[in-house]
């Protein structure tokens, strides 16, 4: 076969393959959403994070502004230390914002919701969120509910 | 009884001899790669017959596999009210498993068998011997460019397969069954990770590309130089490389995910 | 080199076995510079194997093979390749590369081994094609050639690098009288015009003896007789007489060794 035609066909093939790879990277995967190099990191300690995972979303007012980048355990305070990476365009979050762990839907994924405070200063790299609320564990919730019933009936 | 044990011993012996020859050949092929870098046109010629001509079957199968995934996934997920996760399901199955594995199996059937038959026939018609007598190393001149072409083509074909499959799933899920378009893409993007899933999928297909082309060129080069020998070698290529792909896929999956 | 007493190929005490079967058992042979030497013998005596041994494609069990003073059996791979550039070999069916046309086939060894420009290569290839009379078939693919034409193209390819010697493996088998005549003439003419040394392996007595200066007769792994064609015909050896005259029965019996014929028939009747 004619060399020029061969080369053109092979060129098209390689271009198609690279385009497919590019599409997988950009459109299918989280490359454009989650880029570990940009943004800044803050930490928050929680008593209980059960269900939260690395890469779980972090939202404010329902909009995703970052992701959980690391989870560790502090063996002195027995708390979970969660590192959160906030995307670089959200620079002006108040320093006294609070973090809570919520569940999407009844059985869905856990995520961290941030609530803005009133501080003039903004969050910086390696700042720590002081106000946190742990995730709701269904068993604990139920047992508290049952306990309160037992207490009431014993009062009588 | 003793006959049986002898038979077993002989097959074992044959097996290890073949394995040894395959490894020597592999080393020889790899030794030819530096020389190939200055003769890219030879590799391009082979990418045409190995990669481009496998493209049609890859495109069609990818599309249909994606469409079936969309249909089956929808029927299962809708029972749990989770049809929004269809995109995740389609994309993860394709990128992690079906893309590399199915395209490697198709590649073995389409390109691998053709490689074996071509090289086996060149051997049967003394073309390889003739090259040797012209002081041209047939392994470097004939096998190395074919091997490189397979190595380059395989990940590209797998990527095309996955991409077309995702579009096929989109067509069925979003176009026909009414899954929300935004949910299809955004849930997918939330769960598919560039490194864990796509990168590992590409690594898988690279490994499969090496193994399938290696088996194909070895079987051709090692074939008994008769028409029967070549046809047997071609069959062996398809069977062995399919088994190798499935076995390796299990090992790679266990390591990666 | 010009001393014709010095043989170009010198084979001493060569033995080769395939499995348990001895193919050669202590062969001595001298191939004279500038001459056409025919190696003849019945089918299955390993004539082709001998060419492969000279070309260094296989190694002998014992013995030495010297080509142009170089010991073939002890060469490294790269030295062997250097030597092979000076040898041309014509395979039984030509062994043309099926994915290239005639022109590219002949240009193939030149392109692989030299850095010549396409212009020079074109001139060279055209000259080689003219020698074998196939200048008009330049664009044909090997599948479009007849058997005789394919062999002539393969000849042109074998002389593309101007070798010092040519080896022909059964060049006459399966040819019609015309292309046979063409091949016979070409082998002789090429040998004389290019100053080659030729080794022709064949069992076509007539054709081979018409061009050969010396003939070696092989049988049972040994050299049975050697000399010029006339010498062999007149020689005392029963075997040589049978082979050269194509008699069906003689030292080489018509029947493959078997038990007594009558007994064999009776054995079947008894069952």
Kindly report, residue by residue over A45-54, the tens digit of the pLDDT: 888 887 787 7
Chain pair B-C, CB pairs under 8 angstroms:
50
Distance (Å) of CA C213 to CA B115, C12, C235: 45, 21, 16
Provide the whole-model pTM. Answer: 0.80
C85/B127 touch (CB, cutoff 8 Å), yes or no: no
Dihedral Cα C224, C228, C231, C235, nearest 10 deg:
10
How far, in Å, CA of B71 to CA of B53, rounded?
29
Q: In the structure, what pLDDT confidence band is assigned to residue C245 with cuts at 50, 70 and 90? A: confident
Q: In the structure, what pLDDT confidence band is assigned to residue B1 with cuts at 50, 70 and 90? A: confident
* pLDDT tens track for B93-136: 999 999 999 999 999 999 999 999 999 999 998 899 899 888 88
What's the mean pLDDT when you consider all of chain C? 84
Helix B200-222 and helix B227-256: axis angle, to 10°?
Answer: 160
How far, in Å, CA of B162 to CA of B59, rounded?
9
Dihedral Cα A138, A140, A144, A146, nearest 10 deg:
60
* pLDDT tens track for A59-83: 888 888 888 888 888 888 888 899 8
Which of B192, B195, B203, B206 should be substituted to probe chain A, the one whose Cβ sees the most A Cβ atoms within 10 Å?
A: B192
Q: Which residues of B29-38 are buried (b: 16+ CB within 10 A; e: fewer)?
A: beebeeebee
Contacts of A16 in chain B (CB under 8 A): 55, 156, 160
Nearest to C197 by CA among C79, C68, C74: C68
* pLDDT tens track for B51-79: 898 999 999 999 999 999 999 999 998 88
Higher pLDDT, B221 or C248: B221
Q: Rounded to 5 degrees, what are φ and ψ at A84?
A: -120, 130
Which of B194, B195, B199 should be substituted to probe chain A, the one whose Cβ sees the most A Cβ atoms within 10 Å?
A: B194
C91/B132 touch (CB, cutoff 8 Å), yes or no: no
Q: 10 Å Cβ neighbour count for C21?
A: 10
Please tell me if residue A13 touches chain B, with a CB cutoff of 8 Å. yes
How far, in Å, CA of C137 to CA of B155, rounded?
42
SS3 content of chain C, % helix, strand, coil (to 5): 40, 25, 35
Q: What ipTM was estimated for this complex?
A: 0.81
Handedness of CA C230, C233, C239, C242 (dihedral sign): positive
> What per-residue confidence (pLDDT) applies to C1?
39
Higher pLDDT, A2 or A87: A87
C113/B133 touch (CB, cutoff 8 Å), yes or no: no
B40 to chain A: closest CA residue: A7
Q: Which of C85, C93, C113 is facing B125, going by the closest CB pair?
A: C93
Shortest distance, CA B247 to any CA of chain C (angstroms): 35
How far, in Å, CA of A116 to CA of A98, rounded?
7
How far, in Å, CA of C68 to CA of A29, rounded?
67
Sequence-distant (6+) residues with CB within 8 A of B24 are: none
> What per-residue confidence (pLDDT) applies to A6?
86
B47 to chain A: closest CA residue: A10
> What per-residue confidence (pLDDT) applies to C94?
82
Which of B42, B46, B47 should be substituted to probe chain A, the one whose Cβ sees the most A Cβ atoms within 10 Å?
A: B47
Which of C58, C72, C88, C95 should be substituted to probe chain B, the one whose Cβ sees the most B Cβ atoms within 10 Å?
A: C95
Hey, what are B244's tokens? Answer: 């190798």
Q: Which string of DSSP letters, residue by residue, matches B131-152?
A: HHHTT--HIIIIIHHHHHHHHH
* pLDDT tens track for B3-28: 899 999 999 999 999 999 999 999 99
Average the pLDDT over each of B36-50, C112-126, C180-194, C239-253 and give the range with the smallest value.
Answer: C239-253
* Tally of CA atoms within 13 A in the half-sphere of C132 that contains its CB: 27
C84/B135 touch (CB, cutoff 8 Å), yes or no: yes
Distance of CA C12 to the CA centre of its chain: 19
**Can you tell me which residue has the tokens 């496998």?**
B54
Q: Which of B160, B189, B202 is facing A28, going by the closest CB pair?
A: B189
> What per-residue confidence (pLDDT) applies to C269?
74
Please tell me if residue B41 touches chain A, with a CB cutoff of 8 Å. yes
* pLDDT tens track for B184-202: 888 888 788 888 888 899 9
Asked whether the predicted pLDDT for residue A1 surpasses 70, the reply is no
Contacts of B141 in chain C (CB under 8 A): 112
Nearest to B157 by CA among B78, B67, B52: B52
Shortest distance, CA A63 to any CA of chain B (angstroms): 13
Higher pLDDT, C40 or C269: C40
Chain B neighbours (≥3 Cβ pairs under 8 A) are A, C
Shortest distance, CA C66 to any CA of chain B (angstroms): 17
How far, in Å, CA of C153 to CA of C128, rounded?
9
**Mean pLDDT, range C176-205, rounded to an integer:** 87
Asked whether the predicted pLDDT for residue A38 surpasses 50, the reply is yes
- The answer to whether the CB of A42 falls within 8 A of the CB of A94 is no
How far, in Å, CA of C144 to CA of A10, rounded?
28
Shortest distance, CA B249 to any CA of chain A (angstroms): 20
Q: Rounded to 5 degrees, what are φ and ψ at C135?
A: -60, -30
> What per-residue confidence (pLDDT) applies to C70?
86
Phi-psi region of B170 (alpha: psi -120 to 50; beta: other; left: phi over 0): alpha
How far, in Å, CA of B232 to CA of A103, rounded?
60
Please tell me if residue B181 touches chain A, with a CB cutoff of 8 Å. no
Nearest to C167 by CA among C18, C69, C57: C57
- The answer to whether the CB of B100 falls within 8 A of the CB of B203 is no
Shortest distance, CA C84 to any CA of chain B (angstroms): 5
Long-range contacts of B76-85 (CB under 8 A, 24+ apart): B83/B173, B83/B177, B83/B179, B84/B179, B84/B180, B84/B183, B84/B184, B84/B187, B85/B187
Contacts of A30 in chain B (CB under 8 A): 189-194
Please tell me if residue B193 touches chain A, with a CB cutoff of 8 Å. yes
Shortest distance, CA B104 to any CA of chain A (angstroms): 15
Distance of CA C9 to the CA centre of its chain: 14
Alpha helix (H) residue ranges in C212-257: 229-234, 238-245
Chain pair A-B, CB pairs under 8 angstroms:
88
Hey, what are B49's tokens? Answer: 């017959």
Shortest distance, CA C211 to any CA of chain B (angstroms): 24
Sequence-distant (6+) residues with CB within 8 A of A66 are: A39, A57, A58, A84, A85, A86, A87, A90
Chain C residues at the B interface, defined by Cβ less than 8 Å, are: 55, 57, 81-82, 84-85, 87-89, 91-93, 95-98, 108-109, 112-113, 154, 157, 161
Identify any residues that bridge with C16 across adjacent strands, giving them in sequence order: C24
Q: In the structure, what pLDDT confidence band is assigned to residue C236 with cuts at 50, 70 and 90? A: low
Q: Rounded to 5 degrees, what are φ and ψ at C88?
A: -115, 145
Between the two ends of chain C, the Cα-to-Cα distance in Å is 70
C57/B132 touch (CB, cutoff 8 Å), yes or no: yes
Chain A neighbours (≥3 Cβ pairs under 8 A) are B
Nearest to C7 by CA among C159, C162, C163, C165: C165
Hey, what are C249's tokens? Answer: 């029965």
**Mean pLDDT, range C115-134, rounded to an integer:** 90
Spatial strand order of the sheet with C222-227 comes to C87-90, C165-169, C197-202, C36-40, C214-219, C222-227
B251, containing H or E segment: helix B227-256
- The answer to whether the CB of B223 falls within 8 A of the CB of B116 is yes
> What per-residue confidence (pLDDT) applies to C3?
44
> What per-residue confidence (pLDDT) applies to B237?
95
C98/B135 touch (CB, cutoff 8 Å), yes or no: no
């Amino acid at each position: 076969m004619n060399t020029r035609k061969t080369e053109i066909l092979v060129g098209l093939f390689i271009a198609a393959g690279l385009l497919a790879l590019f599409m997988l990277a950009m459109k299918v995967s989280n490359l454009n959403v989650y880029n570990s190099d940009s943004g800044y990191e803050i930490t928050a300690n929680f008593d209980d994070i059960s269900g939260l995972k690395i890469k779980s979303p972090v939202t404010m007012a329902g909009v995703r502004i970052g992701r959980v980048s690391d989870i560790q355990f502090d063996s002195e305070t027995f708390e979970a230390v969660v590192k959160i990476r906030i995307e670089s365009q959200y620079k002006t979050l108040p320093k006294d914002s609070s973090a809570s762990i919520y569940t999407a839907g009844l059985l869905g994924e856990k995520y961290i919701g941030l609530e803005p405070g009133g501080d003039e200063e903004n969050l910086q790299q390696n700042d720590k969120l002081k106000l946190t609320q742990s995730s709701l564990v269904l068993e604990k919730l139920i047992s508290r509910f049952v306990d309160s019933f037992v207490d009431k009936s014993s009062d009588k | 009884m003793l006959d049986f044990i002898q038979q077993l011993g002989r097959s074992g012996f044959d097996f290890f001899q073949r394995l040894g020859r395959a490894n020597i050949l592999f080393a020889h092929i790899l030794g030819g790669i530096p020389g190939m870098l200055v003769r890219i046109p030879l590799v391009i010629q082979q990418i045409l017959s190995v990669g481009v001509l496998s493209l049609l079957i890859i495109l069609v199968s990818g599309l249909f596999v994606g469409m079936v995934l969309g249909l089956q996934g929808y029927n299962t997920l809708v029972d749990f009210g989770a049809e929004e996760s269809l995109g995740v399901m389609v994309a993860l199955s394709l990128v992690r498993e079906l893309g590399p594995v199915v395209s490697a199996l198709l590649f073995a059937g389409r390109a691998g068998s053709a490689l074996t038959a071509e090289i086996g026939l060149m051997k049967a018609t003394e073309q390889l011997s003739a090259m040797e007598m012209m002081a041209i190393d047939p392994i470097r001149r004939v096998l190395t460019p074919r091997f490189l072409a397979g190595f380059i083509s395989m990940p590209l074909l797998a990527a095309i397969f996955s991409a077309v499959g995702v579009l096929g799933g989109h067509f069925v899920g979003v176009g026909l069954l009414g899954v929300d378009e935004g949910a299809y893409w955004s849930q997918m993007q939330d769960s598919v990770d560039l490194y864990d899933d796509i990168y590992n999928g590409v690594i898988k297909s690279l490994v499969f590309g090496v193994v399938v082309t290696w088996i194909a060129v070895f079987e051709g080069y090692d074939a008994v130089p008769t028409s029967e020998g070549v046809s047997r070698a071609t069959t062996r290529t398809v069977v062995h490389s399919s088994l190798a792909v499935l076995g390796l896929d299990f090992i790679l999956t266990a390591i990666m995910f | 080199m010009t001393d014709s007493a010095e043989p170009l190929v010198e084979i001493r005490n060569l033995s080769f076995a395939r499995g348990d079967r001895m193919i050669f058992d202590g062969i001595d042979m001298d191939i004279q510079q500038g001459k056409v030497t025919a190696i003849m013998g019945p089918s299955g005596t390993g004539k082709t194997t001998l060419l492969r041994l000279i070309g260094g494609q296989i190694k002998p069990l014992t013995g030495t093979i010297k080509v142009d003073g170089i010991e073939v059996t002890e060469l490294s791979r790269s030295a062997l390749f250097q030597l092979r550039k000076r040898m041309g070999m014509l395979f039984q069916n030509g062994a043309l590369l099926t994915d290239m046309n005639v022109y590219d086939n002949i240009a193939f060894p030149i392109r692989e081994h030299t850095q010549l420009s396409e212009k020079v290569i074109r001139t060279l290839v055209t000259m080689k094609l003219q020698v074998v009379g196939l200048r008009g078939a330049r664009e044909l693919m090997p599948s479009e050639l007849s058997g005789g034409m394919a062999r002539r193209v393969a000849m042109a390819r074998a002389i593309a690098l101007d070798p010092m010697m040519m080896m022909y493996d059964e060049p006459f088998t399966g040819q019609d009288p015309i292309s046979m005549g063409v091949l016979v003439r070409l082998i002789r003419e090429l040998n004389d015009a290019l100053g080659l040394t030729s080794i022709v392996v064949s069992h076509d007595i007539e054709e081979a003896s018409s061009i050969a200066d010396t003939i070696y007769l092989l049988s049972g792994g040994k050299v049975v007789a050697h000399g010029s064609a006339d010498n062999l015909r007149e020689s005392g050896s029963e075997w040589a007489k049978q082979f050269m005259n194509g008699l069906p029965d003689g030292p080489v019996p018509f029947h493959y060794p078997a038990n007594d014929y009558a007994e064999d028939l009776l054995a079947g009747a008894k069952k």
